[in-house]
Structures are given as structure tokens and as C-alpha cells.
Amino acid sequence: MTTFRDVLATRQRHRPGDPLVTFYDDATGERTELSVTTYANWVAKAASLFVDELGLERGDRLLVDLPAHWLGPVVLGAAWTAGLEVVWDGDPQAVVCGPEGLATWADRAADLPVVATALLPLGVRFREPLPAGVHDLGVEVWGQPDSFIPWDPPSDDDPAVGGVSHADLWAVAGRGTLVTAGARLLSTANAASADGLATFTDVLCTGGSLVVVVHASDDRLAAIAAAERTTQALPDAGQPTRS
């Protein structure tokens, strides 16, 4: 059996203090780094929010409408821990969005859970009140526990993303077709998207780490690559090149 929980548990047993996701926003100067342990804590909190607070159940579809950001992999992991299927279109049972998604999803808050994140450093709350019924991730996630054990955990046959099962998702990721084993990958792609998903799943499954950079010039990308000691670069969701 192979699910997200199995893959993350393996990483937690081996060098849990190593960085897993590092995020740069060159427009704001933000740099956020999540170790394997810190990432697991965020995943547990978000999974608890989805299940215990919002009432989502194994097999429900979670639409993720986020830009490239460190919270993208967190939301993916929380969904998979809870047995939710991540989707990017269709008719979901819940939605997670950023500020730009509020205009699209706020009107659905009366019908299904809509969780919004301000995408501010440290995952803090929106500065302005949100539309009625929309949940602020930066308010509600902090009170959740640092560990989460689902009462109805997903199996490897359950859909993980877009109809692809956990078993198939992690079988592909485990082959490391996008990155070499243990790679520190520099990417501008959105890991919480269909095109960029493998930038996260491959490094998670093969012992690597991900450095996501947004709003940076080519010169800044080169400087960040040197500072972070990345070993591969992926400017988009195509094939990586060695750096």
C-alpha cells in the first residue's frame, strides 16, 4: 500500500529536519522554508481543518485554486491525508483559493466550504474582512492540532488527484522521471497545478527538496540557485535541466 501518508512518514523517519519546501517571492522579499517536520505539522493542521471543522469526508473533491506558493504543497498534503481528491475543475465539495479567487468562489460559500488564504508571510490572516461564509485559513488553521490521524484513511486505490489513484501517483513519482534522487529543485512552476504537480511529488518521493521562486528576474534566479545550492532547475513545467 502506498499513499501520501506512507511517503511522508518515510521522509519523517529519515532526516526530518532537512528542508522540504523553500519559497521566495521576490516582489515582497519573502523567504519561507519548511522542514519535513514543519511541513508535516502544517499538513496535519490543514487536514484537521478540512475534516474536523468543515466536515469533509474521504472521497470528497477539493478544488485547489492557488498560485505558486509554499501553501500549495501544504494543501495538497492535507487533502491527501484526509482522503480528499484534488481537482482543478468540475463540481467540488470544497474549495481552497487565494485572494484572486475570492471573486470567483465567494458566491459559492453558501453551498460548500470555501477556504481562502491571504498568501501573506507565515500564513497569517487577511487584513480586511472576508465575504460572508468564507473561511480564513490564516485564522482557522492555527487552532488545529499538530498531528492528525484520519478515522477513515484513504487506500492506495482511492483517487488522489484528477482521477489518478494514490498508488499510480506515487508509483510515477517514485521513479523520479522529473528529477534525480535527492535533487534540490529550483522551480518557478506552481506545484498546486496539473502542470506543476510533479515538481513536488517527485522531490517528496525521491528524497529531494523544492525551491519555488516567483516574481524573480533571471539574474535573481541564478543568485537564489547559488544561495540555496540547488542541483536542478525547472523554469517551467517542462523538462528540468542541470544547474
Residue pair 35/17 in contact by the 8 Å Cβ criterion: yes
Percent of the chain with pLDDT over 90: 92
Give the pLDDT of residue 139.
Answer: 97
pLDDT at 47 over 90: yes
Mean pLDDT computed over 102-117: 97
Query: CATH number of the domain that 98 lies in?
Result: 3.40.50.12780
Please tell me the total count of domains within the chain: 1
Task: Kindly report, residue by residue over 114-134, the tens digit of the pLDDT.
Answer: 999 999 999 999 999 999 999
Number of C-beta neighbours around residue 233 at 10 A: 18
pLDDT at 196 over 70: yes
Domain that holds residue 120: 4-242
C-alpha–C-alpha distance, residues 107 and 211, integer Å: 34
C-alpha–C-alpha distance, residues 66 and 119, integer Å: 9
Read off the C-alpha cell for 234. Answer: 525547472
Spatial strand order of the sheet with 241-242 comes to 30-35, 19-25, 209-214, 184-187, 232-234, 241-242
Q: How confident is the model at residue 176 (pLDDT cuts 50, 70, 90)?
A: confident
DSSP state of 141: S
Number of C-beta neighbours around residue 135 at 10 A: 20
Residue pair 63/95 in contact by the 8 Å Cβ criterion: yes
Mean pLDDT computed over 40-66: 98
Give the chain's end-to-end CA distance (angstroms, integer): 35
Mean pLDDT computed over 134-150: 96
C-alpha–C-alpha distance, residues 232 and 32, integer Å: 20
pLDDT at 184 over 60: yes
Q: What are the backbone dihedrals phi and psi of residue 65, each rounded to the nearest 5 degrees, phi first?
A: -120, 75
C-alpha–C-alpha distance, residues 220 and 173, integer Å: 29
CA 221, chain centre distance (Å): 22
